[in-house]
Structure 1
Amino acid sequence: MSDDLPQDKPLFDRRMLEALVCPLTQAVLTYDAERQELVSKAAKLAYPIRGGIPILLADEARPLD
């Protein structure tokens, strides 16, 4: 039996998104499944999701253009 996750199941639980906000602005985050990021348009930052865990640290976020 393999420990690998099924390919059709996302690594991030979208239901969790309802409880998460940007730590800098408290604004709603949007989920970018392709990049595995949570995007704060208000802060112009994209927070990474690593191993299914959102990393909501400004130092780890990618600035948006």
Structure 2
Amino acid sequence: MTDETPAPRPLFERRMLEALICPVTHTPLTYDAEAQELLSQAAGLAFPIRDGIPVMLVGEARALKP
């Protein structure tokens, strides 16, 4: 028996990014792993990822700096 711990799963599955689009502009999003956000450059918004779940509500997004 070994004491090996499995590698931690990323909080966000990158494959999911391919299926998500910006709810405002319907354009692709980019993933910011450090900030745990999905970015919509077209809308100027960053959508948070909480507990591995993207929160795609405009009211929960933060504005990107120009």
Q: TM-score, normalised by structure 2?
A: 0.86
Is 1:22 matched up with 2:22?
yes
Q: Name the count of aligned residue pairs.
A: 59
Q: Which runs of 4+ in 1 moved over 4 A?
A: none
Instruction: Supply the AA of the counterpart residue of 1:22.
Output: C
- Please list, as runs of the form range in 1=range in 2, the aligned pairs for 1:1-65 lying within 5 A after superposition: 6=8, 9-65=9-65
| Cα root mean square deviation, aligned | 1.1
Q: Which runs of 5+ in 2 are unaligned?
A: 1-6
Gaps of 5+ in 1: none
Identity of aligned residues (%): 66
